Amino acid sequence: MKLLDAAALIAFLRGEPAQDEVEALLRASAAAISAVNLAEVTDQLVRRGGLPFNEVQTVLAGLLDDALIVRACTMSHGLRAGLLRARHYHRRTAPLSLGDCVLLASAEDGDTVVSSDRALLRIACAEGLDTLALLDSLGRRP
C-alpha cells in the first residue's frame, strides 16, 4: 500500500507537478492516508485555499469512496507518533509535524511512504520504511 502524506493528496487536487504520479496510485487502488493527514488536507484547502468546506467534502468523499483508504488513528499510533517526533524532530534539520509522525506511525509492513517532503522521507528511511519521492510544487524531486 502507498501511504500518502497530506502534500501528496493536495498536489493531486491542485494540479501540481506530482498530480500524475498520485493519480496513477489512486487509479491502481493502492493508496491510503491517515485520518490525521486527511484533516491536514481539509485544513489546507479550506483555510489556505479558500474553498468552501462542502466543496472539499464532496471532492474528498468521491476519492474516499473509490480510490483512497483512510486509516484511523489509534492509541498505539498516537503514542508511536509522539515517540517518533521526540526522537527525530529538529526545528532546522528535521521539521516533522505531528501529522508527519502519525503518517509514519500508521505505516504497516509492506507500505511505502509517499511524499515530496525531504525531511519526512529521510526519517521514513531511518525508520526502515520504503519511500517514494514525489515532485514538489516546483517540479523538483527530493
* Spatial distance between the Cα atoms of 100 and 118, rounded to a whole number of angstroms: 12
pLDDT of residue 138: 92
pTM of the predicted structure, to 2 decimals: 0.92
Residue 142 counted as domain residue: no
Residue 99 counted as domain residue: yes
- Cell readout for 102 is 502519525
Domain assignment of residue 87, given as a range: 2-133
**Does the pLDDT of residue 14 top 80, yes or no?**
yes
CATH number, residue 98? 3.40.50.1010
Per the structure, the count of domains in the chain is: 1
pLDDT digits (tens, 9 = 90+) for 62-104: 888 778 999 999 999 999 999 999 999 999 988 999 999 999 9
Residue 101 counted as domain residue: yes
- Cβ–Cβ under 8 Å, residues 66 and 23: no
Q: In the predicted model, what is the mean pLDDT of residues 50-60?
A: 95
